[in-house]
Chains A and B, each alone.
Chain A
């Protein structure tokens, strides 16, 4: 069974702080995607990382794919209340399916 362990599952911080979310697995993924989901809505794709060691930046968000393509991290710099939401990592396996992490509920207090 392929698992993707995401941590932390809950995070409450003050505006302006930095944070990092981790996703780890013993399995190798062909790519890894990060999503953000608001209550009552579907997940919205933030980024896809494909190459081992790849780093992508999206404004204050930095995504990294591990060299072995088994793990990934999301770092947010100077978090803002608008960053509040559920963040999901998902690894793509060879069948095309996505294996989702447990999700990280982020709350940024003003």
Chain B
């Protein structure tokens, strides 16, 4: 099956620092990757769509300068939370799209900003 990995799985940082989260499709090439944010006991909220070799498309209300997305290759997308603050603490999940229009999700990254 399609496997998507995320690194790190858990990160704790101080307020004001930047954190980079990696998302990799391990056994397939993904022209499109998606970044989601999930609050406890809630559903997933799409933050942005990342296309390889082009700029990400951000959802309404998501600050592009705050959440930097880079999709450098067909198997890697990164999300950088810049100048993180406690309100940015959340569960961040990426997904990768296949040619069959299915999305497979990574295991998520728990970000805690102190």
Contacts and interface: CB of A to CB of B under 8 A. Distances in A.
Interface of A: 6, 30-31, 33, 35, 40-45, 48, 86, 88, 90, 92, 95-98, 100-103, 105
Sorting the interface of chain B by its residue count into under 10, 10 to 19, 20 to 34 or 35 or more gives 20 to 34
A103 B45 CA distance: 12
A68 B93 CA distance: 30
19 contacts: A6-B43, A30-B101, A33-B102, A40-B108, A40-B110, A41-B107, A42-B6, A42-B106, A43-B44, A45-B102, A48-B102, A96-B49, A97-B46, A98-B34, A98-B46, A98-B95, A100-B45, A101-B43, A103-B43
Contact of B93 (A42, A92, A96, A105): A42
A97 B49 contact: yes
Contacts of A30: 101
B105 interface: yes
Chain A binding surface, main DSSP class: strand
Given A42-B4, A42-B105, A97-B49, 6 more contacts: A41-B107, A42-B95, A48-B100, A100-B45, A102-B42, A103-B43
B8 interface: no
A92 B49 CA distance: 13
A96 B97 contact: yes
Contacts, number: 56
Nearest to B104: A45
Contacts of B104: 45
Contacts of B43: 6, 88, 100-103
A51 B43 CA distance: 25
A105 B102 contact: no
Closest 9 CB pairs of A and B: A42-B105, A103-B43, A100-B43, A42-B107, A42-B108, A43-B105, A100-B44, A102-B43, A42-B93
Given A97-B49, A98-B34, A41 B108 contact: yes
A31 B46 contact: no
